[in-house]
Amino acid sequence: MLSITPFSGSYAAEDVQFLLKAISLPDTPVAQKEILLQSGRKHYSEMLTHERPPPSAYLELFHQAMAQNASLLAEHLNDLAQQIVHSRPAGITLVSLARAGTPIGVILKHILQDYWHKDVAHYSVSIFRDVGLDLNALDYILQQQRAESLVFVDGWTGKGVIARQLAKSLGTYQQQKGICVPAELFVVSDLCGQASYSATNEDYLIPSSLLNATISGLVSRSILNPELLTQEDFHGCVYYTELQPYDLSRYFVAEMLAHVAKIATSKQPETHLCRVDKVQLQAQTQAFLDTISTKYRITRLNNIKLGIAEATRVLLRREAQRLLVQNQHAEAVQHLLWLAQEKAVPVEILPTMPYQATALIKELSS
């Protein structure tokens, strides 16, 4: 059995077990990271730009997002919990994808325990595009839990890259180990028709998408640097203890559960399935990607990030070429406009865009 020291970040020990190895990693400034990444000298997983405390003006935008959308997110999390219950009658093990999935997984664990009376374990694991799921972490989980009980959770999907990567990793795992784990991804919002289950396909401002470590247990995004990790290790992370004074991880969970309590009843309602035409969503996504890549001469589709949440990630930790918004007056994009102004990123209005926001990563000349 793999050895592990229980690690819950700044969450309560019973809320989550991060299957990540806390390590130290030098800071790579954003501009240098882009050069190394786009030149092929380094993979995204090998580098990390260290996080700093969010400015007070930006935190105010987070609290505005909570006031605006916490109730809607609570309804969606309640619906998602019901879908999980109906899909896993023999038991539930939550496996959130670090790190956007982690706060979602923590809240779902409470909903499933408090309102559905389910005994639920919750692990948070790493997955990378082009690399895959941390199979050491999966081994560890399956030493303790039944394969059919696993429920992979994330916050949202943009283009569906992680959903496809998850399916690929689990297919490889079945070939190698003979163990079938359901290749199903549960998300709050599925913009592209690639998730197995979702509460909505609406591109709306999920408050947790505004922040990074300070809403995810003070844990960095995951790291896979062969100079610091062995093949027997879990993927790595940096634990930002210095950000503890700014930590909103437990606050977010408590606030969301208070909103869940307002809509919960003693009688469990029927699940509100998100009934969407996945084929139509997939076609819409591909058509939009084709249009944008042609218009802005984007050579790599991975440099187009769809939706509010993914656009936020770009402006927080990548070199952005341009921010596209559907309506510059919408409350949901005000934090993006603030970030774009702070970083001198051009903003363009595209009223016919099927998403509230899209960010384009700057492509550097080779």
Instruction: Please tell me the pTM assigned to this model.
Output: 0.93
Of the residues 232, 263, 294, the one at which a domain ends = 263
* Predicted confidence band of residue 37 (pLDDT cuts 50, 70, 90): confident
For residue 324, pLDDT beyond 50: yes
Kindly state whether residues 247 and 313 are assigned to the same domain: no
Task: Supply the CATH number for residue 353's domain.
Answer: 3.30.1330.30
Of the residues 233, 263, 293, the one at which a domain ends = 263
Kindly state whether residues 188 and 48 are assigned to the same domain: yes
314 near 362, Cβ under 8 Å?
no
366 lies in a domain? no
N-terminal to C-terminal alpha carbon distance within the chain:
45
Look at residue 266 in the predicted model and tell me its pLDDT.
38
* Predicted confidence band of residue 265 (pLDDT cuts 50, 70, 90): low
Kindly state whether residues 190 and 287 are assigned to the same domain: no
342 lies in a domain? yes
Candidate from 42-51, 170-179, 262-271 with smallest mean pLDDT: 262-271
10 lies in a domain? no
Total domains in the fold of the chain: 2
Kindly state whether residues 248 and 304 are assigned to the same domain: no
For residue 363, pLDDT beyond 90: no
Kindly state whether residues 300 and 328 are assigned to the same domain: yes
Q: How far apart are CA 138 and CA 274, in angstroms?
A: 28
Kindly state whether residues 190 and 332 are assigned to the same domain: no
1 lies in a domain? no
DSSP class per residue in 114-159: HTT----EEEEE-EETTTEE-HHHHHHHHTTS-GGGEEEEEEEESS
Pairing state between β 357-361 and 132-133: unpaired
Q: How far apart are CA 288 and CA 299, in angstroms?
A: 14
Kindly state whether residues 199 and 298 are assigned to the same domain: no
12 lies in a domain? no
Kindly state whether residues 296 and 248 are assigned to the same domain: no
Q: Tell me the pLDDT tens digit for each residue of 6-20.
A: 699 999 999 999 999
54 lies in a domain? yes
2 lies in a domain? no
Kindly state whether residues 179 and 326 are assigned to the same domain: no
7 lies in a domain? no
E-strand spans in the chain? 17-18, 21-22, 93-97, 121-125, 127-128, 132-133, 150-157, 185-190, 197-200, 236-237, 304-306, 320-325, 347-349, 357-361
Of the residues 238, 263, 288, the one at which a domain ends = 263
Length of the chain: 366
- Owning domain of residue 245: 17-263
Q: Tell me the pLDDT tens digit for each residue of 133-165.
A: 999 999 999 999 999 999 999 999 999 999 999
Look at residue 275 in the predicted model and tell me its pLDDT.
64
